Chains A and B, each alone.
Chain A
Amino acid sequence: MSLVRVEGLRRLFPVSAGLFRRSTGFVHAVDSVNFEIGMGESLGLVGESGCGKTTTGRMLVRLEQPDEGRILLSQPDGTDMDVVELRSDQRTEFRRQVQMIFQDPYESINPRRTVYETIAEPLLIHRIGDLSTREQQIREMLRKVGLAPPESFMFRFPHELSGGQRQRVAIARALILQPRLVVADEPTSMLDVSIRISIMELMSQLAKEMGVAYLYITHDLAVARYMCDRIAVMYLGKVVEIGATEELLANPLHPYTQALLSAVPVPDPALPPPEVRIKGGIGKAVNPAPECRFVDRCPQAADVCRTTPHPPLEDKGGRRLVSCHLVEASRH
């Protein structure tokens, strides 16, 4: 059963130039994106920088307002909550159900608040519990995220913690309300390589314990492979391929996914260096022409890719959604 359904999500940023800041066009940061996240499922959103994955995540937590499209959050009573057009009486409920973990643990925690205050803040805002039950909850949460004993961390300030400890605090803050969906925006990319794995382990273990679904935004396929049940690959504001993690990595169908995978270094000096399959770099989707977004860099580009608009995300068999003219709906 799906928890979130994203339908035709779109976000345009105006580009202005010249003396009078005339608007000369729009960056299609997120352009007609569709995907679903199941209950307790972890969906990885993978792509190069600037492809719109963070914007997508921010729209899911209402830090950005989409220009078009719907985000439907299914409720325990069977109805759907429209996140884009929330009624005022739904706002509090929405905030309790969807939380976010930010990329930079050095900036995402108020430096003037103690660990206790940081984690207690959502409880305070939603007026949950009194002082002593809150304290109990926070102790428990701190223990869960591996900051034990809680007494020695509760009243520290962020500058007295390491990057990994801070990110644990951020995770505790996101999970204290027992949300159903957490948007994690590259939570390990700012951390030392040596502690990334422990943070990821913690996140997936807590997800299992608490039944939280993740939208896990990352540019690192290895991280996505470790963390995610399914992976969605984004390119210039479009989702080009969605599939179960192992299947997608073993058998990438979209040329961009194939190129991404070929760029992953293989730790074996005996193997020949991988051939570079795509050329050029990622651009910006400013007023994109009605053609495949990937056509300029695609090694397999055909005429149909230039003459028809960007192909829709279609089921090519086995829950594999691919957005490419050249991929046959092979396996049924």
Chain B
Amino acid sequence: MADQRSLPEETHTADPFGSQPILHEVDSWWKIRLTLMRRSLRENWRIFRRSKVGVFGLVIIAFWAIMAVMPTVFFATGFWNPAVYDPVTGLELNPPTRTMTMVERITDPNTEIDRRAVLLDGRIPDTLQIGDTFELPRQPAPPDGRHWLGTDPLGRDVLSQLMHGARASFFLGILAAVVTVVIGTTVGSMAAYFGGIVDAFLMRLADLLILIPGLAILIVIGAVFTFQLWHLAVVIGILSGFGGTAIVLKSQALAVKVKPFIDAARVAGGSARHIIFYHLIPNVMPLSVLYMMFTVTAAIQSEAVLSFLGVLNTDTSWGLMMNLARTQGYLLQVVDFWWLTIPAGLSVTLLSAAFFLVGRGMDEIVNPRLRRR
């Protein structure tokens, strides 16, 4: 980067090749494609880099990507014992304890079972008398050397859950974004290219989908069906792809459709399919990648809300961590049990914000009018 920065800006734009032709010998098509892609990536990175929020977002995403990979590394190297650190089945067997004094023994007169002992998992020996002290396991336990972010009410490691939750969020966000982009670009380009009744039908459908209150419909679907994570991704993708994204991309495709190179393709004998996929879509792609970023944000947030409400059938996710804190009654004790809610909540906020910021940064590449000179 340092050598690039030292050069004046004009050297990059005026002659991207230097004085040498890029390729003297065509040996492999893949190599050429790669060269071209690298070149355009470098150029786009140069523009992207100027947007501070975009780079900031990218740093956060990179951080979470590393977080998502870490559990695999920890388990593989034996740093983490799966029996203890597994996000779902893990259990800390030797939790920190605190010393308590027996004040009274409350026994249910009907069943003759010690109610407090039941609450504490029956770990109070019968031999204890009033006035004796005993060790009580603390679960959820606050952060210590073994569990950097403490454990949850079931004795599982919070950091491990957080890292696995990042995986779930990436999976969900990226799948939803891909579905959005595939549907949005195809629908938008088709509506723009064919016009007439196809356009009218697709656009009214888009209006309809915009009217649907997304979260409400997701809760209903979640209540009726067993809702897996990838179901959610597809539903969010369809809602966003068919709705707003399709409308925006259609307007972009309309602007491309009237360009003479579309006429040229027609004169060359190109079919509608050829023109849509070879000419229209590549030209609306930058904008759809931008919308992809915004979809990731929406998907991560909806997942958190749905998991929190408990309508999503998933093993680990940030929303689920908060859900557990809520069902176990720790939600309103943020000061005393902050490690149950704050890390998960902050993660949702940070990662969804990061994708939004990257989207803002890409806006400057896609939309030259926003570019600072």
Contacts and interface: CB of A to CB of B under 8 A. Distances in A.
A271 interface: no
Interface in A125-173: 125-126, 131, 135, 149, 151-152, 154-156, 160, 170, 173
Interface stretch (A94-102, A198-206, A319-327): A94-102
Contacts of A91: 269
Interface residues of B, number: 30
B270 A110 contact: no
Interface string A163-204: 000000010010001000000000000000000000000000
Nearest to A185: B260
A63 interface: yes
Contacts of A63: 263, 266-267
Contact of B270 (A99, A125, A152): A125
Interface string B263-299: 1111111110010001100110100000000000000
Contacts of A103: 260
A121 B278 contact: yes
A108 interface: yes
A173 B264 contact: yes
A112 B285 CA distance: 10
A95 B282 contact: no
Given A112-B283, A155-B36, A107 B259 contact: yes
B21 interface: yes
B309 interface: no
A185 B270 CA distance: 20
A50 interface: no
A96 B269 contact: yes
Contact of A99 (B23, B268, B279): B268
A108 B268 contact: no
A274 interface: no
Most B Cβ at <10 Å: residue of A91, A110, A113, A160: A110
Contacts of A95: 267-269
A97 to B, nearest CB: 10
A163 B274 CA distance: 26
Nearest to B271: A125
Contacts, number: 80
B96 to A, nearest CB: 60
Given A151-B23, A155-B32, A160-B16, A102 B283 contact: no
Interface in B102-148: none
B35 interface: yes
Interface in B6-39: 16-17, 21-26, 29, 32, 35-36
A160 B22 CA distance: 12
A318 interface: no
A20 to B, nearest CB: 19
A18 B39 CA distance: 53
B283 A110 contact: yes
B24 A151 contact: yes
Contact of B269 (A104, A125, A151): A125
A330 interface: no
Given A125-B274, A155-B32, A155-B36, A102 B260 contact: yes
B75 interface: no
Given A111-B283, A173-B268, A155 B263 contact: no
A100 B264 contact: yes
B283 A155 contact: no
B261 interface: yes
Contacts of B263: 63, 100, 102, 108
Contacts of B22: 152, 155-156
A149 B260 contact: no
Given A107-B261, A110-B282, A173-B264, A122 B23 contact: no
Nearest to B281: A112
A92 interface: yes
A109 interface: yes
B36 A108 contact: no
Contacts of A32: none
A258 interface: no
A155 to B, nearest CB: 6
Given A110-B283, A112-B282, A100 B26 contact: no
Nearest to B15: A160
B24 A108 contact: no
A149 B261 contact: no
Contacts of B264: 100, 102, 108-109, 170, 173
B260 A104 contact: yes
30 contacts: A63-B267, A95-B267, A95-B269, A96-B269, A98-B267, A100-B264, A102-B263, A104-B260, A107-B261, A108-B259, A108-B263, A110-B261, A110-B283, A111-B283, A121-B268, A122-B268, A122-B269, A125-B268, A125-B270, A125-B274, A126-B269, A135-B26, A151-B23, A152-B23, A154-B23, A154-B26, A156-B22, A160-B16, A170-B264, A177-B268
Given A99-B268, A104-B260, A125-B270, 15 more contacts: A63-B263, A95-B268, A95-B269, A98-B267, A109-B261, A110-B261, A110-B283, A111-B283, A122-B269, A125-B269, A125-B271, A131-B29, A151-B21, A152-B22, A177-B268
Interface of A: 61-63, 91-92, 95-96, 98-100, 102-104, 107-114, 121-122, 125-126, 131, 135, 149, 151-152, 154-156, 160, 170, 173, 177
Interface of B: 16-17, 21-26, 29, 32, 35-36, 259-261, 263-271, 274, 278-279, 282-283, 285
